[in-house]
Amino acid sequence: MAEARASLEALMQLQDSTLGDFERELIHAKNDPSFAVADAIQALPRAAEPGRLTRQDFLFLFLNGLGQTRNSRATKLLMDATDHLRAEGFPAEILETGPFASTQANARMILPQLRAKLSPASTKHVVIVAISKGTHDLVEALAMNADQPTLSPAELGKIDFVVSISGIVRRSAVASWLVRPKGLLPRLVRAFMQAPLIGKFPDLDGIQSLTTDPWDHLLARGGARGLRCTWLSYAVLPDGQNGHPKTGFLRTRLLRGLRGSSKEIGPYDGLTESASSVLPPGTGLEQWIVRVRGAHGVINGKYLDGTPVVAPRSGVSAAVEIIEPLLRCLPTSHLDREPGGNDVELAAASPLR
């Protein structure tokens, strides 16, 4: 598995439209707080200036992940992120989704919220930040919009960046294993997840929906017409020396059952295959990829050079440690570029292709 991970890391860099340049800039920004690209979003003025973009022109919208309730850590981190952005002069909001709802149900919730945010003439530039299943929900929303348009091409065109953090862009092999009807171990895990007092899942609709690929749905309908964004994928690869994710005893035992059920499974981060965190070929979108080693989540992960994504015991919110380098590396000069990317096949490292 370690060899497959190395192959996948190399293939991801080839699929990255910047061929690793953005990743290097982000790591530089993380290690040097004074570093920023020349035209970074963070360099925009707070106050309005005639004929010039300001921070008020960039709206940040966040989408939460699976099982993240009001008091969950991820929810609190998203609140930290929006508070920090607002303090810096950027409008920012968390879109409402159901923590345990299916991808389809959340997509139906997302579309009218996006319409409300994208339709006003005052909305000029939008950055969507989605974590984990939030990315899956977003892609399904785009697919539903292709079926029955809620968002016009002009409204979709206001989305300049989608930042997918540990995003499940396609389908999850772990979810497919978990919800399969046969097998003692999957049945035991399902029972534990829904057990009174100890299990927090009222149902498994959200997990079940991760077994489908929303990009298949979207691409079958000709893609998201009008969407011209740059798609930034924080792809998490397993951090163990043997090419498997470092997890606790119970989770390791469960993942061993997953590996035993499929000889074809590629490198995975503990919740989904790493290759399913990047765009499939044929989307027409420009994609930038940042590779992180960890276990489904970037907070405890490290960039490939060993730099921690979040410095231990820094006293600063993990959300701020992720957002700040990003603000110093996202360029305003990229807003009017034509879409396009490097469609490199990842089949050599994952059966998802």
CATH of the domain at 92: 3.40.50.1820
Does 264 have pLDDT greater than 80?
Answer: no
Q: For residues 260-271, give the mean pLDDT.
A: 60
Structural domain includes residue 275: yes
- In a domain? residue 142: yes
Domain count, the chain: 1
Closest Cα to residue 161, out of 288, 25, 342, 325? 288
Instruction: Give the pLDDT confidence score for residue 18 in this predicted structure.
Output: 96
The pLDDT value given to residue 338: 54
Q: CA nearest 61: which of 85, 45, 43, 40? A: 85
347 pLDDT band, cuts 50/70/90, is very low
Does residue 115 lie within any of the structural domains?
yes
Q: How confident is the model at residue 185 (pLDDT cuts 50, 70, 90)?
A: low
Q: Please report the pLDDT score of residue 260 as a whole number.
A: 52
Q: Is residue 35 part of a domain?
A: yes
pLDDT band at 268 (very low <50, low <70, confident <90, very high): low
Whole-number mean pLDDT of the chain?
A: 85
- Residue 251, pLDDT score: 55
User: Is 163 among the domain residues?
Assistant: yes
Residue 83 in this model has a pLDDT that exceeds 90: yes
Task: Report yes or no on 178 lying in a domain.
Answer: no
Q: Residue 352: its pLDDT value, please?
A: 36
What pLDDT score was predicted for residue 241?
74
Which stretch of 92-96, 195-199, 223-227 has the lowest confidence by average pLDDT? Answer: 195-199
pLDDT beyond 50 at 168: yes
Stronger pLDDT, 344 or 246, i.e. the higher one: 246
CA 332 to each of CA 34, 127, 160, 229: distance values in angstroms, whole numbers, following the listed order:
18, 12, 10, 12
Q: Which pLDDT band holds residue 345 (cuts at 50, 70, 90)?
A: low
Range of the domain at 21: 2-45+56-173+209-254+264-331
* Structural domain includes residue 194: no
Within a domain: residue 88? yes
- If you average pLDDT over residues 172-184, what whole number do you get? 74
